[in-house]
Amino acid sequence: MALSFLDREHTVAKPGYSRWLIPPAALAIHLCIGQAYATSVYKSALVAHFESSLTAIGVIFSIAIVMLGLSAAVLGTWVERAGPRAAMFASACFWASGFLVGALGIATSQLWLVYVGYGFIGGIGLGIGYISPVSTLIKWFPDRPGLATGMAIMGFGGGALIASPLSRQLMAGYDSGYDPTDPTSVASGSAVTSLFVTLGIAYFLVMMLGVFTVKVPPPGWKPAGFDAAAVAAKPMVSTANVSAANAIRTPQFWFLWTVLFCNVTAGIGILEQAAPMIQDFFREDGMSSVAPATAAGFVAFLSLFNMAGRFVWSSTSDYIGRKPTYVMYLGVGMIMYVLLATVGHTSTVIFVLVAAVILSFYGGGFATVPAYLRDLFGTFQVGAIHGRLLTAWSAAGIAGPLIINGFLDAQGTPGELVAADYRPALFTMVAVLAVGFVANALVRPVAARFHERPGQTDEFAEGKV
């Protein structure tokens, strides 16, 4: 078979293969699919091209995120069985095809085709790509799973940092009338079509680096000096394995689902309204002391902390443990939200720093959860379990904006409000975090009746079950 190089058995590393080749392979995938968070760059161009509303264009992104959660949940077990190379290849094909079909939709002025292309097809690529390297990284880095998954999931945040300025520069190249430095300038539909084709091809090529670099460790492999017994002796770390089918029958899975849902919902509360929020917090007599350019700088500042938090906090969790790390995200997060609501309006420095800490916890929550799952359910089907857990992200993607927009709509229009108008929404986020805090406190080791029998995990890896 021409594609047999994708099979799991062809991806087993030879002795001496450096495990430090695996993080860049994972980053090659996550940096590309992280573009999903840079869709605002061409949003106004699509609104003008299709002569539609912002909401209608926003649906493209919403479909993509829903498909991310669904495909990660449904295809997670296939990703585990087929191996990381086949999964990364499938992700690259879906992601690149999504851009190309989306480009066709823009070129022919068929918005539904953009929904199908970028939203549906691309969204499947997002879901498969997001979970594709997780299980492999954890197996290569049993000594530092938080560091390894933190590096990859940091890439998802980093992908947006690359795609935003790159897309602006490319659109300026395709449309001489578009000024990337002017926020009011709108690129033509043909420029966005060309952008989609360029990104589709470029992302496919970069993702192939991941496909051809990723390998799974040989059975029984462990890093030099690694003592599995010492790791297993840590509290809340299991050496037993739980299948994805059994995992969703455990209360631990649903406690973690609640933890992720609450952490993401709270983070989205800030992310969703960051630019108008900083202007509203420092508004007196109808005039804000924060200029639009400063507000845009604030959004960029938050994206840096969102990305850095993924790496820093997830790596830290290897030392302090996963449960205490989430105690920090949710407990300190509550304090930060209370500070934001009560004293955030007194100083821009306080406001910016508190919001940055909240966003670093938001990113950290995403990056630390695969290692938490490994600790509780073992490495057997951790990628598939992670995929199912990501439905919490999709749910939070709906709940977070609903909560914040629901409260703010009752007060007026974001961009014309004052700090006090945000308090009901912010205190609601404190309550949301409190629910997550309790769920995390309830997490205990998984009962032995859910564990796989010895040998079962090897049979699965060999495709026998």
Partner 1 sequence: MAEQTPEPAPQSTSNQVPRLVLTWAVVTVPLAYGLFQTVRSVIPLFTG
What is the closest distance, in whole angstroms, from the C-beta atom of residue 166 to partner 1 in the complex?
8
* Best CA proximity match to 397, nearest among 255, 263, 254: 263
Structural contact between residues 259 and 330, judged by C-beta atoms closer than 8 angstroms: yes
Specify the 3-state DSSP secondary structure of 90.
Answer: helix
Q: Which stretch binds partner 1 (CB under 8 A): 11-19, 51-59, 78-86, 280-288?
A: 11-19
Measured in whole angstroms, how far is the alpha carbon of residue 181 from the centre of its chain? Answer: 28
- Complex with partner 1: residue 214 or 403, whichever CB lies closer: 214
C-beta of 153 vs 290, nearer to partner 1: 290
The correct pick among 44, 213, 405, 457 for binding partner 1 (CB under 8 A) is: 213
Q: Binding string, 322-361, against partner 1, x = CB under 8 A?
A: ------------------------------x---------
Tell me if 400 contacts partner 1 by CB under 8 A: no
Per rule CB under 8 A, is residue 367 in the interface with partner 1?
no
452 secondary structure, DSSP code: P
CB of 172 to partner 1, least distance (A): 14
Q: Rounded to the nearest 5 degrees, what angle is found at the Cα of 309, between the Cα atoms of 419 and 385?
A: 110
Q: Which of 110, 301, 395, 411 binds partner 1 (CB under 8 A)?
A: 301
Q: Which stretch binds partner 1 (CB under 8 A): 164-172, 357-365, 396-404, 450-458?
A: 164-172
Site for partner 1 in 17-56 (CB under 8 A): 17-18, 20-21, 24-25, 27-28, 31
Judged by CB under 8 A, the residue of 39, 167, 303, 314 near partner 1 is 303
Residue from 164, 198, 246, 252 that binds partner 1 (CB under 8 A)?
Answer: 164
**Tokens 């500070």 belong to residue:** 339
Under the binding rule (CB under 8 A), the answer on residue 194 touching partner 1 is no
Interface region with partner 1, contact rule CB under 8 A, candidates 9-17, 232-240, 371-379, 385-393: 9-17
- Within 8 A by CB and 6+ apart from 331, the residues are 437
The CA distance from 22 to 212, in Å, is: 11
Taking the C-alpha atoms of residue 218 and residue 215, their distance in angstroms, rounded to an integer, is 9
Contacts for 210 with CB less than 8 Å, ≥ 6 apart = 24, 25, 26, 27, 28, 29, 88, 92, 133
The distance of closest approach from Cβ of residue 161 to partner 1 in the complex, given in angstroms and rounded to an integer, is: 3
**Residues sharing a CB contact under 8 Å with residue 216, sequence separation 6 or more, in sequence order:** 8, 11, 12, 13, 83, 84, 136, 139
Backbone angles phi, psi at 221, to 5 degrees: -65, 145
CB 339 within 8 A of CB 350: yes
Applying CB under 8 A, which part among 15-23, 74-82, 99-107, 380-388 lies near partner 1? 15-23
224 belongs to the binding site for partner 1 (CB under 8 A): no
Write the secondary structure of 394-447 as one string of H (helix), E (strand) and C (coil).
HHHHHHHHHHHHHHHHHHCCCCCCCHHHHHHHHHHHHHHHHHHHHHHHCCCCCC
Q: Should residue 158 be labelled a site residue for partner 1 when binding is judged by CB under 8 A? A: yes
Q: Which is nearer to partner 1, 25 or 403 (CB)?
A: 25
Alpha helices (H) in 175-283, listed in sequence order: 189-213, 228-232, 244-247, 251-271, 274-281
Contact range with partner 1 by CB under 8 A, out of 39-47, 49-57, 288-296, 428-436: 288-296
**How far is CA 53 from each of CA 10, 47, 64, 125, 275, rounded to the nearest angstrom?**
49, 6, 18, 26, 20
- Give yes or no for residue 300 binding partner 1 (CB under 8 A): yes
- Shortest spacing between CB 279 and partner 1, in angstroms: 12
> CA-CA distance, 204 to 214, in Å (whole number)?
15
CB of 97 to partner 1, least distance (A): 22
Question: Total residues at the site for partner 1 (CB under 8 A)?
Answer: 38
* Distance, CA of 459 to CA of 405 (rounded, Å): 49
Should residue 161 be labelled a site residue for partner 1 when binding is judged by CB under 8 A? yes
Length of the chain: 465
Residue 173 touches partner 1, criterion: CB under 8 A: no
Instruction: Decide if residue 420 touches partner 1 (CB under 8 A).
Output: no
Q: Which of 93, 206, 312, 338 binds partner 1 (CB under 8 A)?
A: 206
11 near partner 1, rule: CB under 8 A: no
Tell me: does residue 454 bind partner 1 (CB under 8 A).
Answer: no
The answer to whether 162 contacts partner 1 (rule: CB under 8 A) is yes
Q: Which parts of this chain interact with partner 1 (CB under 8 A)?
A: 7, 9-10, 14-18, 20-21, 24-25, 27-28, 31, 155, 158, 161-166, 206, 209, 213, 290-291, 293-294, 296-298, 300-301, 303-304, 352
